[in-house]
Structure 1
C-alpha cells in the first residue's frame, strides 16, 4: 500500500474564512441565555471570593492558633476551612448544572438551525455537495464544538475571577512577592497565542479529513455502495482509501494534541520554579524579617492555586481560537442563500379548491454551472383535468420540466403557473399539496410500509392507506407478507423489487390526492403486465386530475390528451397521438 498522503493544507480562501469568524457572532449564540449566564457569573464570583478566605485562615492557624495552643480558635479556623470547601463545592455543582444546560441548548439550536437551513436548500445544492459532507458538518463539526460551547463562557468567568481574586489576595499578603510571581504572565500570554494559531489551522485540516472519512463510510457502507463494490470488485480499494484517510487523521490528531506542547511544558516548569524563587526572595535583605511563616506558607499556597486558573484561562484561549475553524464551517452553511424559498408575500390558496390548470409560459432554464440551457422558450398549456405526455430522447429536458412544476428549481426566465398563479408565489407547503410527484428514482425510508405511506399524509387512516395501496396495485402483495403493512422495508427499500418499490411510492403519492400528478418514468421498473394494471389505475385516478407523464414507452402515453416532443430543451411538436403520427414528424419516427 502506498504511504499515506500528507493532509491537505488550507487554501488562502479557507484561511481567510476562518479568520473572519467574528467572536461577536459566536457571542450572539448565548444572547437568549443572558439571565442564566448572569446567575452563573454571580455564582462564580461568589465562589471565588469565598475560596480566598482559605489562605487567610491557614495563616491564622500557623501564626496564631498553633503557636499559642488556642484550641478554640483552632477549632473555629478548621471549621471555617471545611465550610469554605463545602460552600464552594455546592456552588460548583449549581454552576455546572446551569452552564451545561445553557451549553446544550446552544448546541441544540445550532444543530436544528443548520438542519432546518439545509432542508430549505434546493435540490441543486445537494447535487453539488458530496454524499456524507452534510452529515459531517452536523455531527463532526458541531460535535467538535461541544466542549467550547458548553464550557468556554463559564471557564473564562471562573478562571478570570479566580485569577483576579487570587492576585488581590496575594497583593494583600505581600505586594513584593506578588511582583515576583506575576513576571511570568507576558511570556505565558505570548506563547499561548502562538499555540492557538498553530492549532487553528490543524483543526480545520482535521475536520476536512473527518468529512472525507464520513464520505467514504457513506459511499462504501450504504446498501447501494456495498452492492456496487461487490459487483465491481473494488472492496480492497475502498478499504485502502478508508485506511489512508484514517492514517492521516492519526497524524492530524497527534499534531493537534502536541502543537505547542513543548512551549506549554516550559510554562509548567517556570510556574513550578516560582515557589523556590519566592522562598529565595523571602530571605533577601529587603524582605528578611518582614514576612511571617504563616504569610509565606499562605502566599505559596495562593501562588500554587494561581497556576491552575491561569493556565486554564490561557487554555480556553487556545481552544476558542482553534474552534474558529469549526465555527467557520458551520456559519458557512448557515450563510448559504436559499435558492428556492417561500415568497415574501405568498398567495393564499386552498389546495382542495385548485382546479389544476397548468401552463409553461416561455420557460428557460439552465442548471448552475452549465453553459447550455436545459430548457429554452418552452410554452405549453395543460387545461385542468387533462393529461400531458412528454416524450423525447434521454437528456432532452423532460424531467427538468417536471422538476419546475414541483418547484425543485426555479426557471431563469418565463414562469410556470397553476390556475394562473405563478408557482413562485405559492408557499412550498401549499404547492406540495397541489403537485404530487412519482419519480423514476424511488426512495423508501428504513421503516414499515405503513409509515412509509403515512409519510405523505401523517393523519391518514389505515383504510385510506389501504385504498391508496389498492389503487397502486400493491395491496395484495403487502397483505401476503407475514407482517403486512407493518413489514420493515429495509435500507432504501432494498427488500422489495424495483417494481414493488415504485408501486409503494405511487401509493404514497396517491394518498395525498394531488390535483396535479407528475409521473416521471413512474412505471419504468414495472413488467408489462404490472405496468398495464397500474396504468389502468392511473387512468381511473386521472379523472378530474391534471396529469403530466414522462415515458420512453410510447404505449403508455398514446391516449394522452396532449403529447409534446421535447428535443434539446425545446418543444418540436405537440398534439394528440393520431395527429402527430399523421404529420410524419419526430413523434411518428419514434412511434414507428
Structure 2
C-alpha cells in the first residue's frame, strides 16, 4: 500500500538495548527440553553406565603391570587385555547411542525454536516490519538460532557425561590414593575463577558479533536483491555498497578473533598447571622418603585417572564458557518470542455463515505507532453490501490507511470497523482474510511458477478456476503465449514481467479467492490506458454482489462509484456521487479540473 508512513511514532529501544536490559534464566532454557524428559533420562542412564564401565580400565591396567606381567601369568594377562578391549568397545557403542539420542533431541528443540520464532513473527502486525530491518529478522532466525545449535544439541549431554566422569574418576582416584587426589585438586579453584572471567568476556563479544552479523545480513539483503541491484547500478553506488560490506566483514573478522582468543592465555596457563601436577607426582614417587609407598601399577593407574579427570574437568569449564557466551543468542531469540502481538485473534470469534459484505466505519481514529498525530480522525462511512465506494485525495491524506484498517493490518485507535454489523476484531483472522481481498499498487510475487503464485491465495484451486481468474484479470492470453505457460517461473519479485503484467497477476490472485469485499488500492496504477479499461471492465462485471472500495488518482476510474469520499488530512471533507460532488463545486470539483 502506498501510504503507510509512521507518524508521530514514539522512540523504541533497539534490540541491543532490550537484550542488555533483560537476562535469560537457565530455567527458561531448560524449559525447551521439558517435552523430551524421557529421552534425556535414557541419555543420562547411558552416560552413567558408560562412565562406570570406563573406570574399570585403570584398575585392569594396574593388575597388568603389578601382577600379570611380573608373574608371567599369560591366562590372567589375556583376561585383563580382553577386559580392556571389552571396556573400550562397550563405551564406544554406548557413546554412539548417546550421540544419536541427544542429537535427535537437540535437533527437535532447534526445529521447535525456529518454527516458534517464525510463527510468532508471522503474527506480528505490519508496524513491526515497517520498523525492523529485513536482514535483522533473517539473522535472528538463521545466524542466532544456528549459533545456538551446539549448545542445544550437545551441552546438556556434555555436562552430564563430563560430570559423571569427573565424579567416577574422583572416586577411583581416592580409592587408589586419597593423598594424591587432594594434591591433584589444587588447581581447581583458580581454574573455576579464570573460567568465569573468560565466560563473561565471551558473552559480551558474542552479543556484539551477532549484531554485526545482522548488519551484514542487512547489507546483503539491500545490496543483492533485484531492487537493490537495480538501484545501486542506476545510482552508481556499487562501489559504496562493496566498501560498506567490506567494512562490516572486517569488523566481523576482528570479533571472531576476539571471541576465539578471549581468555586463551589464561586457559593455556591452566593447561600447563594441569600438566605439571602429574610431573610433580612422578617426582614425588621417586624421592627417597616415598620409595616403596606405592606400586608402579598404582602410580601409572593413578596418573592415567588424573589425566582422565582433567579432560572432562576442562570440558565442563569450557561448557560453562560456551553456555554463558550463548546467553547473548538466547536473549536475542527470546526477545522476539516475547514481542507482544498487536493484532490479536479473538478468544471467541464470531462466524458469519452467509457474509454479505456490508462495510462500515464508525468514528474511526488511528495514529501510527501510538503517536499523537492522527492519520485518520473521526472517519465514518457506510458501504452497503454489493455497492462501491471510491476514496480520492492527495497523497498522504489517509486513503491507504483506510484500506489497511479494512484488512486489519492495523487496529483503530478508537472507533470500529464492521462487516455485516460485526466488529472485524471479533472475526478470526483467517475468516477476515477470506472476506477481504486487497490489491495494492505494490505488487509482490513469489520466486516460483505463475500457477503456484496464483495458488498462494487458494492452495486447492483447480486449473479451471485459475484460468477463470486470469481471464477476468485480462492476463490469460499473455500467460498462454509463454513457452511454459502457467509453469513459467516468475523470477525474483516478478521482475521478468512488466509492472502492468505483475499487477494483473496480483489481481487474478486476489480474484481467485472470490472475496466479498474487494479493496483496490491504486490497483490499476501500473496499467496503460487500454489495459486499464479492459481490467476495469472485468472489475465492473465482478462487482455485482461484491462490495468494492477503490482508491485511485485517476478519477476516470471511479466516476461510476455509488459513493465517492474525498479524504484530506485524515478526514472526510465531502462525499456523494460524481454528479452531486461536481454540482457542489467543492474540493472534488477542483480535483477534476
**TM-score between both structures, scaled by the size of structure 2:** 0.97
Residues 66 and 297, structure 2, Cα contact 8 Å, conserved in 1: yes
- Alpha-carbon distance in 1 for matches of 2:16, 2:538: 57
CA drift of 1:285 comes to: 6.7
Report the alpha carbon displacement of residue 286 of structure 1 after superposing the two structures with TM: 6.5
Q: SS at the partner of 2:566?
A: strand
State the partner residue of 1:553.
554
Indicate the residue corresponding to 2:200 in structure 1.
197
CA distance in 2, matches of 1:13, 1:115: 20
Which residue among 118, 121, 135 is the counterpart of 2:121? 118
In the aligned structure 1, how far is the partner of 2:356 from the partner of 2:44? 61
- Contact 1:363-1:412 at 8 Å conserved across structures: yes
- Aligned equivalents of 1:223 and 1:116: distance in 2? 27
**Residue aligned with 1:380, SS:** strand
User: For the residues of structure 2 that align with 1:13 and 1:108, how far apart are their CA atoms?
Assistant: 25
Classify 1:354/1:500 alpha carbon distance in 2 versus 1 (closer, same or farther; 3 Å): same
Residue 28 in 1 paired to residue 46 in 2?
Answer: no
Distance 2:167 2:291 in 1: 27
Give the match's secondary structure for 1:344. Answer: coil
User: Residue 3 of structure 1 aligns with which residue?
Assistant: none
Tell me if 1:563 matches 2:564.
Answer: yes
Matched with 2:323 is 320
Q: Helix, strand or coil: the match of 1:132? A: helix
1:277 Cα deviation (Å)? 1.1
CA distance in 2, matches of 1:199, 1:563: 62
Q: 2:236: which partner in 1?
A: 233
Match of 2:341 in 1: 338
Query: How much is the aligned-residue C-alpha RMSD, in angstroms?
Result: 1.2
2:195 aligned counterpart, secondary structure: helix
- SS of 1:499's partner is helix
Secondary structure of the residue aligned to 2:368 is coil
Residue in 2 that maps onto 1:375:
376
Match of 2:4 in 1: none
Cα offsets for 1:59-101 (capped at 9, x unmatched): 0001110111111000000000000000000000000000000
Tell me the CA shift for residue 238 of structure 1.
0.1
Query: What pairs up with 1:215-226 in 2 under 5 angstroms?
Result: 215-226=218-229
Rounded to whole Å, the distance in 2 between the matches of 1:98 and 1:343 is 40
Quick one: distance in 2 between partners of 1:355 and 1:12? 48
- Are 1:393 and 2:394 an aligned pair? yes
Taking the TM superposition and a 5 Å limit, the aligned residue runs for 1:259-298 are 259-283=262-286, 287-298=290-301
1:280-300 per-position Cα deviation (integer Å, ceiling 9, x unaligned): 232457744221110001001
Matched, 1:465 2:466: yes
Deviation at 1:303, TM superposition (A): 0.6
Aligned runs of 1:506-585 on 2, under 5 Å? 506-585=507-586
Q: Does residue 141 of structure 1 match 2:144? A: yes
Taking the aligned partners of 1:389 and 1:13, their CA distance within structure 2 comes to: 44
Task: Within 5 Å, give how 1:241-256 maps onto structure 2.
Answer: 241-256=244-259
- Per-residue CA deviations over 1:426-463 (Å, capped at 9, x if unaligned) read 00000000000001100000000000001100010000
Q: Is 1:40–2:43 an aligned residue pair?
A: yes
Cα distance in 2 between the residues matched to 1:72 and 1:563:
104
Specify the SS of the correspondent of 1:560. coil
Match of 2:307 in 1: 304
CA distance in 2, matches of 1:284, 1:325: 51
Q: Which residue of 1 aligns with 2:435?
A: 434
Alignment partners' CA distance in 1, 2:523 and 2:201: 55
By how many angstroms is 1:275 displaced?
A: 1.0
1:14 to partner: Cα distance: 4.0
User: Quick check: 1:10–1:204 contact (8 Å CA) kept in 2?
Assistant: no
Q: Pick from 9, 17, 20 the counterpart of residue 15 of structure 1.
A: 20
CA-CA distance at 1:307 after TM superposition: 1.5
- In 1, the alpha carbon distance for the partners of 2:516 and 2:20 equals 51
Task: Kindly indicate whether the alpha-carbon contact (under 8 Å) linking 2:417 and 2:423 is maintained by their aligned counterparts in 1.
Answer: yes
Which ranges of structure 1 fall in alignment gaps of 5 or more residues?
Answer: 1-8
How far off its partner does 1:349 sit?
A: 2.6
Are 2:76 and 1:73 aligned? Answer: yes
Counterpart in the other structure of 1:127: 130
3-state SS of paired residue (2:548): strand
**1:369 Cα offset (Å):** 5.4
Work out whether residues 19 and 332 of structure 2, in 8 Å CA contact, stay in contact via their aligned partners in 1.
Answer: no
- Runs (4+) of structure 1 exceeding 6 A deviation are 9-12
**Residues 158 and 237 (structure 1 numbering): CA distance in 2 closer, same or farther, change over 3 Å?**
same
Q: What TM-score results when the alignment is normalised by the length of structure 1?
A: 0.97
- Listed as ranges, the gaps of 5+ residues in structure 2 are 1-13
Preserved CA contact (<8 Å) 1:361 1:415: yes
Residues 436, 512 of structure 1: 8 Å contact kept: yes
Query: In 1, distance between residues paired with 2:299 and 2:59?
Result: 11
Contact 1:564/1:573 (8 A) holds in 2: yes
Deviation string for 1:250-281 (max 9, x for gaps)?
00000000000000000110011111111123
The reply on whether 1:175 has 2:157 as its aligned counterpart is no
Output the CA distance in 2 between the equivalents of 1:551 and 1:47.
74
Asked if 1:493 corresponds to 2:498, the answer is: no
- Higher RCO (Cα < 8 Å, 6 or more apart): 2
- Which secondary structure state, in structure 1, belongs to the residue aligned with residue 369 of structure 2? coil
Residue 12 of structure 1 deviates from its aligned partner by: 6.5
Of the candidates 31, 50, 53, which is equivalent to residue 50 of structure 1?
Answer: 53
3-state SS of paired residue (1:115)? helix
1:82 aligns with 2:85: yes
- Structure 2 CA distance, aligned partners of 1:73 and 1:386? 99
| Alignment correspondent of 1:449 | 450
Question: 2:364 aligns to what SS in structure 1?
Answer: strand
Q: Secondary structure at the match of 1:431?
A: helix
> Could you give the per-residue CA deviations for residues 11-30 of structure 1, whole angstroms, max 9, x where no partner exists?
7654333xx10100000000
Q: Render the CA deviation track for 1:327-347: whole Å, top value 9, x for unaligned.
A: 000000000000002111111
Q: Could you say what secondary structure the match of 1:360 adopts? A: strand
Shift of 1:591: 1.2
Which residue of structure 1 aligns with residue 11 of structure 2? none
**Cα gap change, 1:522/1:13 in structure 2, threshold over 3 Å: closer, same or farther?**
closer
